[in-house]
């Protein structure tokens, strides 16, 4: 019973985090010792400053032409493992309030 309560509370927490901002996601990060942690970030926050705005769009554009530009994994908006023009299109839609 306790196991189900913990699962329920975990799912409830995840759903509330996702729907409270609409752009929040979890990143799964592995460590050398095999542990897996989850961190919260705002999708599209390409410079990792906690805000999603036009500066992030410019950062992604620079990254697509020069991959030595520092970029936060949160820039991978469609979560396909690549940061590219598709993410730029999605971020433009987010910034313009267009649903995708
Ligand atoms: Ca940002
Ligand atoms: Ca992507």
Domain ranges of the chain: 2-96
Residue matched to tokens 């649903």: 99
Ligand 2 centroid to residue 75 C-alpha, Å: 7
SS3 58: helix
Q: Walk along the chain (100 residues) in steps of 10 and give the mean pLDDT of each run.
A: 53 44 56 63 89 96 95 94 96 88
**Contact status, residue 46 vs residue 77, Cβ threshold 8 Å:** no
Cα 8 to averaged position of ligand 2 atoms, centre (Å): 30
- Ligand located closest to 76 CA: 2
Instruction: Tell me the three state secondary structure of residue 50.
Output: coil
Q: Is the pTM of this model over 0.75?
A: no
Report the pLDDT value the prediction gives residue 12, as an integer from 0 to 100.
43
Q: Three-state DSSP class for 36?
A: strand
Q: Which ligand is located closest to the Cα atom of residue 49?
A: 1
Which residue has tokens 């699962």?
A: 7
pLDDT recorded at residue 9: 46
Q: Which overall architecture, per CATH, does domain 2-96 show?
A: Orthogonal Bundle (1.10)
The pLDDT value recorded for residue 42 is: 85
pLDDT for res 33 = 72
Q: What are phi and psi of 26, to 5 degrees?
A: -110, 140
Query: Which ligand ends up closest to the CA of 82?
Result: 2
């Amino acid at each position: 019973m306790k196991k189900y309560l913990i699962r329920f509370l975990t799912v409830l927490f995840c759903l509330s985090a996702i729907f409270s901002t609409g752009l929040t996601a979890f990143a799964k990060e592995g460590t050398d010792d095999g542990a897996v942690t989850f961190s919260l970030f705002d999708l599209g926050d390409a410079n990792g400053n906690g805000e999603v705005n036009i500066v992030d769009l410019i950062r992604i554009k620079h990254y697509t032409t020069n991959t030595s530009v520092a970029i936060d994994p949160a820039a991978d908006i469609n979560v396909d493992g690549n940061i590219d023009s598709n993410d730029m299109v999605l971020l433009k839609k987010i910034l313009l309030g267009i649903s995708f």
